[in-house]
Chains A and B, each alone.
Chain A
Amino acid sequence: MENKLPAVEISLNECKGCALCIESCPQTVLSLSAPFNKLGYQYAIYAGSGCTGCDACYYACPEPGAITIIKQKKVKM
């Protein structure tokens, strides 16, 4: 798990397929699915690696709950 971070999680049934996250991603690790979700949209999917945790897709996404970024952060003890 540790070594896969940072990562982007896309809530499949909250995505409306606008693709703005895909355009925003500097690493081009997001793409649109072939199948449709429950809402009837093709949804964004993460390639599984390559995310740098830059948050660009998080802010580009108009659907407030659709994208979650998980990353590691240095904290002072």
Chain B
Amino acid sequence: MEKMETVVKGKPEALCATFDRKEGSDKQTTHYCPGCGHGRVHKLIAEALSDMGLGDKTVFISPVGCSVFAYYYMNTGNVQAPHGRAPAVATGVSRANPNSIVISYQGDGDLAAIGTAEILHAANRGEHLSVFFINNAIYGMTGGQMAPTTLLGQKTQTTPRGRSAMNEGHPIRMAEIIATLEAPIYVERTSCTDTKGIMKTRKAIRKAIKLQSEKKGFTFVEILTACPTGWKKTPSDSIKWIQNELEPYFKPGVYKDVSDKAEPLHRPEMIMDSEEIFKSLGLKKGKTPSSSAAAVEEKRIKIAGFGGQGALTAGVMMATAGMNEGLNVSWIPSYGPEMRGGTANCSVIVSSKRIGNPLVRNPNILIAMNGPSLDAFENDVVQGGTIVVNSSLIERKLSRSDVKAVYVPLTDIAAKVGLKAAANSVALGVFLGLENIFSREGIYEVLKTSLKKKDALEINIKAVNAGFEFAKTL
């Protein structure tokens, strides 16, 4: 059985019944000029959202340009974005609520001039967005200046003699550019002119939104629209101008469509369980003693060597062992380009007191693992301090006599226990032997947590012990 029903096709539900956010007394009509393309496209988007029942789920990102006030009209969640940044803002919105339908609505200045980086990279990441790019080849909001899509020869307020390729370059074809990227699944340019063009635009808009609702990825629809005011033409002539002038340069068509092969992409669920979060952060329950058994007078240590000798690691281990025994500790590396070049050094402080400056300029103890390190820091050591010299690599003696010199063949000892690279562990052992501030067991514990391979652990423990024994013979 069939029956006839009266259908009223009016303002879609996803447009506000009255435009209450709009300034002024007229809450019924848009702020757009007669014949402007924005109203048409707003209506097409709203119609699609309404028909698909997506009004609640949609977040509409308004750009800067004439459509800055799109939030007056769209009966959806609305976020107004800085100029050109709508795709980045949309990325944030979409990632925060992956189930929302996010629409980035942008004009030519917004998308193709000030926001080129944002659109390219949102597209390239394949963000779940539908981007509707309104190309009318002019800046409307600011009063008719040149847009990146202004045609050669086209007169605007800032190209009063017409756009010249020599001075302003050529108009940019965004749909073509976006289509070269891997991630976008659907890129089309339509021309919102006569009924045929409008219906093609309608179809493209619906397709883009539907694909997003299926979580299939990034879609981009460039729409050629009229700006009769900016072009100083009647609405009717404006439509003809699009057809005769814009369309030959900005050819309508599908530039990319792999949507039939696109699989729905679901973002990972967030784990909210506290224990899982602690585990992911490597946090361990329990209490670390907050004071040490014995008072330790502040030790300011500098460990230096060439990259790969493990000077920085030795410092971290020293500091960790101190921390585990309830001491205050700090460690800071020299950072910057030199860490990729020759020498690396770190400052370590171990103290019973609260530590001030973590940078050690004048150490009590210097561990110099190679020649350049000794040359660089020998004179900084405080009077009465200690300098451990890696005599495997440094042939010279100290040039000063007001410090304690400890010559240890760190590298040779390490080689003897089976791993030349364990010279830093030998240095740790020497340090323990010289300065009785924390236990060897403490260092073993630290080695255990940082070295996962059993044989590496054993060799490093041996290296620590060898260094320790060596220091005891001094």
A and B touch in the complex (CB under 8 A): yes
By a CB distance below 8 angstroms, the chain A residues around B7 are: 70-73
Contact for B37 among A24, A41, A62, A74, CB less than 8 A: A62
Which of A23, A59, A77 counts the most B-chain CB atoms under 10 A from its CB?
A: A59
A75 to B3, CA, bound (A): 6
Contact for A62 among B9, B38, B195, B236, CB less than 8 A: B38
A60 within 8 A of B: yes
A9 CB to nearest B CB, Å: 8
* Number of A residues, CB within 8 Å of B: 34
Instruction: Knowing A16-B29, A39-B29 are in contact, say whether A59-B198 is a contact too (CB < 8 A).
Output: yes
Instruction: Knowing A16-B29, A20-B236 are in contact, say whether A59-B43 is a contact too (CB < 8 A).
Output: yes
Beta-carbon contacts under 8 Å, B1-40 to A = 1-12, 15, 26, 28-30, 32-40
Q: Are A14 and B29 in contact (CB under 8 A)?
A: yes
A16 CB to nearest B CB, Å: 4
A70 CB to nearest B CB, Å: 5
A71 to B8, CA, bound (A): 7
A71 to B7, CA, bound (A): 5
Q: Are A24 and B194 in contact (CB under 8 A)?
A: yes
Interface string of B189-206 (1 = CB under 8 A from A): 000001100110010000
Beta-carbon contacts under 8 Å, B185-231 to A = 194-195, 198-199, 202, 228
When C-beta atoms are compared, the residue in chain B nearest to A64 turns out to be: B43
Q: Main SS of the interface on chain B?
A: mixed
Q: Are A64 and B39 in contact (CB under 8 A)?
A: yes
A30 within 8 A of B: no
A13 CB to nearest B CB, Å: 7
Interface string of B32-58 (1 = CB under 8 A from A): 111111111011101000000000000
Q: Are A19 and B236 in contact (CB under 8 A)?
A: yes
Contact for B2 among A23, A65, A75, CB less than 8 A: A75
Q: Are B195 and A59 in contact (CB under 8 A)?
A: yes
A29 within 8 A of B: no
By a CB distance below 8 angstroms, the chain A residues around B28 are: 11, 13-14, 65
A59 CB to nearest B CB, Å: 5
Q: Are A65 and B15 in contact (CB under 8 A)?
A: yes
A43 CB to nearest B CB, Å: 11
Instruction: Knowing A24-B194, A55-B9, A70-B8 are in contact, say whether A62-B32 is a contact too (CB < 8 A).
Output: yes
Q: Are A70 and B30 in contact (CB under 8 A)?
A: no
Beta-carbon contacts under 8 Å, A1-44 to B = 5, 11, 13-14, 16-20, 23-24, 39, 41
Q: Are B40 and A73 in contact (CB under 8 A)?
A: no
A68 within 8 A of B: yes
Instruction: Knowing A70-B6, A73-B4, A74-B4 are in contact, say whether A59-B235 is a contact too (CB < 8 A).
Output: no
Contact for B5 among A23, A64, A73, CB less than 8 A: A73
When C-beta atoms are compared, the residue in chain A nearest to B36 turns out to be: A62
B239 within 8 A of A: yes
By a CB distance below 8 angstroms, the chain A residues around B37 are: 62
A40 CB to nearest B CB, Å: 11
A58 to B33, CA, bound (A): 17
By a CB distance below 8 angstroms, the chain A residues around B133 are: none
B105 within 8 A of A: no
By a CB distance below 8 angstroms, the chain A residues around B11 are: 64-65, 68
When C-beta atoms are compared, the residue in chain B nearest to A39 turns out to be: B29
A60 to B35, CA, bound (A): 9
A55 to B43, CA, bound (A): 13
Q: Are B30 and A5 in contact (CB under 8 A)?
A: no
Could you write out 6 A-B pairs with CB less than 8 Å apart? A18-B228, A59-B198, A68-B9, A68-B10, A75-B3, A75-B5
Interface residues of B (CB under 8 A from A): 1-12, 15, 26, 28-30, 32-40, 42-44, 46, 73, 194-195, 198-199, 202, 228, 235-236, 239
Interface residues of A (CB under 8 A from B): 5, 11, 13-14, 16-20, 23-24, 39, 41, 55-56, 58-66, 68-77
Closest 5 CB pairs of A and B: A62-B39, A18-B35, A16-B34, A18-B34, A18-B235
